[in-house]
Every structure is written in C-alpha cells, then in structure tokens.
Amino acid sequence: MPAHDVLIIGAGLAGQRAALAAAEKGASVAIMSKVHPVRSHSVAAAGGINAAISVDDDWHSHAYDTVKGSDFLGDQDAIEIMCSEAPGEVMHLEHMGVTFHRNDKGEMDLRAFGGASMKRTAYVADITGQALLHVLYEQLMKHHETVERFEEWFTTSLLKDDAGRCCGVLARDVRSGRMEAFTAKNVILACGGAGQAYKPTTNGLIVTGDGIAMAYRAGAPLMDMEMVQYHPTCLVETGILITEGARGEGAHLLNANGERFMEKMAPNKMELASRDVVSRAEQIEINEGRGVGPNGSGIYLDVTVVPRKRTLEALREIVNLGRDFAGVDITKEPITIRPGQHYIMGGVKTDVDGRTPIEGLYAAGEVACVSVHGGNRLGANSLLDTLIFGRRAGEHAAARSASMGMPAVDTKAQLREDAGRIDGIIARPHDGRRVSEIKNELGELMNKHAAVFRDEQGLQHALGEIGRLKEEAGKAWIDDRGTVFNQDVLGAIELGYMVDCAEATVVAAIERKESRGAQFRTDYPERNDGEWLKHIDITLEDGAGGGPRVSYSPVTITQWQPEERKY
C-alpha cells in the first residue's frame, strides 16, 4: 500500500504547484490525476495571470479591484495575501522558463482585463495556461526521486481514521480497473471545479466536481456555491470560450442595432467591466430582442477593430477557434457569442493555507473556496489563485508531515465498499436511464434555472428535479462491463459528483435572497449588505445519505468597507 507525506489529487496548476512546493520542503510527494497532467483543464486557461508588476502599479490596487470585483463577498485577508504575493510568483514562473510576452522595450508586456484599474495581466499570447502547465510539469520531472506520479488513476473516496482525520484516498487504476488504497499524512485536493454540471460550459469533460463532492461527502463544508460565473464570450454554436484577452486588446460588443450597449451598463469600463456585469448586459440585450444570430440568441464580438497584426500575434488561438468552429475570420468580420458557464467561485471551504476543517485535508485551486473571488472572479485571477494557494497548501502540508508519523488506518472495509459500489454500477440491469441522458438533463436544467438570472420559482423547480435526477443517477446503466479503460463506469461515478455539486449550488442560491455578483435574483434585485454580507456554507447531514444543511460564516473585512459597485 503506497504511503506518502503529501498526496495531491489533481495535476493541474494547483496540484503541480503544490507538489513542487512540498517536494522543495523535503516531503515525499505523490500526485494523482485521472488524466495525464498536461491534459488537466488548466491547459485551457487563455488570457493571462494578474500581478502588480508595473512600476506604476501596486498590489493594494490589485487587491481593491479584486474586492470590488467580488462584490465585497471576498475575504480581504486572503485577497491581500494573493495580491501581495502575486509579483514574486509571476517572476518565479518566468525564471523557471515561462515565455511571457514582451513589449518593444523587452519588458514583460501587460494587457487589460475586466474589472482592473490598469493593465496588470501577464500573458503568453492566448495560451497562458498551457504555457504555465508545461513548464511546471518540466520542473516536476526534476523531482522524480521525491515526487511519484500516478497518472490515469481515478479517486473514488477519501480515507479517514477513527479520529476523523483524512489519511489517504481510495483510487481505481483506469488502465486495469484495479482498486488500491493510498495512505498519506496529508491529502491536497486540487482537482478543479464542477462546470460539467452545466450545459453548455467552457469546461473540459473531466471537470466534474470530483474533489468538491468527495470532500462534501466526507463532512467538509462547501462555501459560496451559489456563485457560478458565466463568461461573457462563448461561441453560440458550441459554448467554446473566446478569451477575455480579445476585449482586453480592444474588441467591441455589439447588438443587432450595431450599438455598443455596454455604454448603458458600464460607461467607464465598457466591455472591460466585471464578468457578471457584462454577462447580464448581454443577456438583457438577448432577452429584449436585440440579439443576433440563430433565434437572436447571441451578441456580436467585433475583433476587427483590433489591428490585424496584433490579433494574429496576441490572439492567434481564437483566430483558429473562430475559423474552425464558427466558420468566421475574426480579423474580417464579427463573431457571434453569448454568456456561458465558466467557473465555480465556491468550493471546499479552506483557510489561507489550504486547510479544511477536516484535519489532514487541504484544497487549492477551483475546487477550493478561500474565498478570494467572493461573488465574482476577475479574469486572470484564477491562474494566480491556483499558484499562490497551491504553493501555500504544499508548504503547509509538508511542514505538518515533518512533525508526525504515518497514520494507521484499516482500509480493507472501505476498499470492499468502493469496489462493491463499482461492481454494482457495472452490474445494473438495462432498465433505467443512460448516464449521458441524465447528465444532459442536469446541465440544461442548471443552465435554465441557475444561470445569469435566477428566481425562487425556477430554483425550487430545479431543486425538485435534481432530487429526481439523483435517484435516477443511482440506477443509471452503462454498456462497458470490462476493466480496461472503462470510462463508462467512471462517468457514472462522476454523474453522482455533479448531482451533489448542483444540489449544493441550488440550495445556496435559494438561500441567498439578494443579488450580489454572479447571483442575480430577479425577485430580489438589490444587494442587501444588512442581511447577506456573509458566506453561505453547505454541509452534508448524516453522511452520504443525508441532505444539504445551510449555515453562515462572516466575511473578513480588513481595509475596504462595502460600497456600491460601479464600472
């Protein structure tokens, strides 16, 4: 049975940064992922990473922009840590070999992003996540003696000892179907968000809320789950993301009348207001009949106003996306976009060192809620979040492991239980619904009732339907009854994870009876600091068979008092 000081679940930017940090502190590390690490969803991050690098900038300005962007729901102590440590982390990445774009003077170039008071987004064309991920993976190769990689292993549950401490995981080897227990002094969840609970989404097929649901089932609280970001610019045809970098370079949003409608919603920031503001503005245009494209369901993103040379240099990937998936040359004509589900601001509740209330369990990246994003994440703060808090979680877990022995835990019973659960899925009779059918219905339900605009009636309807889908998911049948690369059985397990995440999201959205950030309630259209300047926490009562229970925790305010948010 493998045993390590620090076991990391997920090999995207948060996981790899945590692994490097723990290894550099002398810990024995294992990093486990259900896909090859460079296929982690971090590779899809396009626009850049924020840091107050310019001589004219200051991290306090970055922190204030982040607090304001969060609609004052972000915890300011965590935001201060993230923003103050950002310049050093970005320069460290450059020294490791990330080829950030340079300007004519040879200095690191910075582009404008939404909600920022100045240009502070470092970037590698529009493939920033891919560039960062590959460099970190190269660095990880240097630590092959202390970092063991388990690629294509699917985690099924967390291990806890009799005292309630997390001390490892159970996982299935995707290549063979073999189940194994992995013990560890500390476990760091770094396995991303839950975007696939929505349809459409910009998230890859692997983003199924695994870590959020496993921690939830183990007793960890979730926080801010109602805050789900819709990105303003996704292809109407497919939901594929068109990076905010396009608007950062100067692209315009136009309605059917050719109007730059953001003048009405955000006269100062226009297209570079915060994402929730831009997405709502677009949806209003569509709902009121000023949309474009099929059934008026889209908005024009006009990149032709950006010099063609600059577009081909800094936005080359979306040139390809426009051509391949929409049949449009974005250097010559506008492309049709709409808001699409993009990011989960909520997640497993942690402190600034990644610790959850379960001893020995950490979380970092989109799976976690520190909370640095609050009600709305600023573009290019996500990569920063993964790296800063991935590193901090890795360092803290390594330090904790140095002062303790390897935990003793009996894994046989839980191994039998998880293996039996998988065998039960494989053996289900073909008289229920297919996994894909239930997943599609869940995604469309969430996109209809828990999206840019929400109300009590729609949310209550969604909650009832999720209860039905949860029952149906427990009976869903699969075709593949083999052991080698059985993606069918993994999809059935992932469906359960997504349903749990969706339920927590809707329960929290019902509870928050105000509009703040990404939560816009048409029946409660105003922000209400008197009653709702607080986090909503969701815990699972009575283990995996219980239901969600709501509680609250305070928002940490250090130096910026809530004010009306205007762009």
Please check whether residue 261 is in contact with residue 250, taking contact to mean a CB–CB distance below 8 angstroms: no
Q: How far apart are CA 68 and CA 239, in angstroms?
A: 28
CA 319 – CA 491 distance, rounded (Å): 33
Contact (Cβ atoms closer than 8 angstroms) between residue 224 and residue 59:
no
Distances (CA, A) of 446 to 176, 264, 383, 440, 503: 34, 28, 26, 10, 10
Identify the pLDDT of residue 431.
87
User: Which residues in 395-428 are b (16+ Cβ under 10 Å) and which e?
Assistant: bbbbebbeeeeebebebeebbeebbeebeebbee
Is 52:61 a contact under the CB 8 Å cutoff? yes
pTM: 0.95
Burial of 131 (0-12, 13-18, 19+ CB in 10 A): buried
547 burial class (0-12, 13-18, 19+ CB within 10 angstroms)?
exposed
Q: Is 392 annotated in the active site?
A: no
Distance, in Å, from the CA atom of 240 to the CA atom of 69, rounded to the nearest integer, reads 24
pLDDT for position 351: 98
pLDDT in tens, the chain (567 residues): 689 999 999 999 999 999 999 999 999 999 999 999 999 999 999 889 999 999 999 999 999 999 999 999 999 999 999 999 999 999 999 999 999 999 988 889 999 999 999 999 999 998 999 999 999 999 998 888 889 999 999 999 999 998 999 999 999 999 999 999 999 999 999 999 999 999 999 999 999 999 999 999 999 999 999 999 999 999 998 889 999 999 999 999 999 999 999 999 999 999 999 999 999 999 999 999 999 998 999 999 999 999 999 999 889 889 999 999 999 999 999 999 999 999 999 999 999 999 999 999 999 999 999 999 999 999 999 999 999 999 999 999 999 999 899 988 888 888 999 999 999 999 999 888 999 999 999 999 999 999 999 999 999 999 999 999 999 999 999 999 999 999 999 999 999 999 999 999 999 999 999 999 999 999 999 999 999 999 999 999 875 567 899 999 999 999 999 999 999
CA end-to-end span of the chain, whole Å? 55
Give the CA angle between residues 510, 511, 514 to the nearest 5°.
85
Strands, E, within 443-561: which ranges?
Answer: 534-540, 548-554
- Among the options 275, 391, 400, 516, which is catalytic? 275
The DSSP bridge partners found for residue 172 are 154, 179
Q: Could you give the C-alpha distances from 537 to 40, 252, 407, 509, 529, in angstroms and in order? A: 28, 38, 29, 11, 17
Cis peptide bond prior to 551, omega within 30° of 0: no
Note the pLDDT of residue 376. 97
Report pLDDT for 409. 86
- Domains in the chain, start-ordered, CATH in brackets? 3-191+206-222+353-402 (3.50.50.60), 231-339 (3.90.700.10)
Q: Residue 213 half-sphere exposure, CB side, CA atoms within 13 Å?
A: 24
> Tokens 């040359």 sit at which residue?
329
pLDDT on residue 545: 64
